[in-house]
Structure 1
């Protein structure tokens, strides 16, 4: 496992964490998005109605003031809505990332199942919801997996090298044993030939055949 394969999952986690943060601060982002939408939709109309006297700046000023006023009045409804949506987005992100991990890299849960389960609990706490819990936990899970698998690979490579060295030593010992047996057989043959054959160590039968 390398970090290149972890990057897409981390990107998905970061997107859900960003959405969760936006809803956690919806008391701010809600009016801000409303002001932006109002400015975009009304600036052209306002400019046409006033024959170019009033345009984008005026629309932005009016929309920002209106959105701020509405946000201040409706904050008691906007804030709880943001918290509920943040919890929903957090759960959806946790579920989505979990399914991706199960499909693409199920063995990551061998060492990190409790961490991932704990990330759901932390992400659903409103006060701690602004922390990118899903991204941090997924990053830690991948880091742990990479470290464990790297150590396992090094151990496997050492075991393979030791096994190959042992096999080489066995082959070498077998060759040396075969050579020693061959030399012993040759020495025995020469001694027997010398005992039977006379001056040049040639057996009597060999001289008669010659």
Structure 2
């Protein structure tokens, strides 16, 4: 953008003494030149051979990057695999408090997330189970053999006693403590059904 002659004077000469000052103080001219926004050599012709002038395009220090350029993170050795994160100290309180067990009875004023709450995805797209009032803790709760048999009967799964004993045995083998939950029974039944379909 071209600048006018009076703008050039303002930019290159800085603040001058007021015209009302009859006798300017000593060194006022030198101080005015020090206050200048641009030096005279920073004003260049708009086009070669043109009388219109414009400020020279300023260059950033990053425009002339040396070949020995290094970021601070590379100087700190912050590359993948060098220093494990376990060596860095952790500060503050984590968002999900997996370091403390969830209380058996939660108070209304307790808004701490113990890792047993759903995230935004679960709120937007609830599962079929949560729509029916059955939550993850109910599915993964350790249950007795009689309770699992009653649940299967109530949902309409017809198994003989021998078949149920085999399902129970396979489900208990999947857990290192031998505990069985509804999810482990469901997984075993799905595997049995898949192997039956594959064998046909």
Q: Give the TM-score normalised by the residue count of structure 1.
A: 0.22
Q: Which has the larger radius of gyration?
A: 1
TM-score (norm 2): 0.23
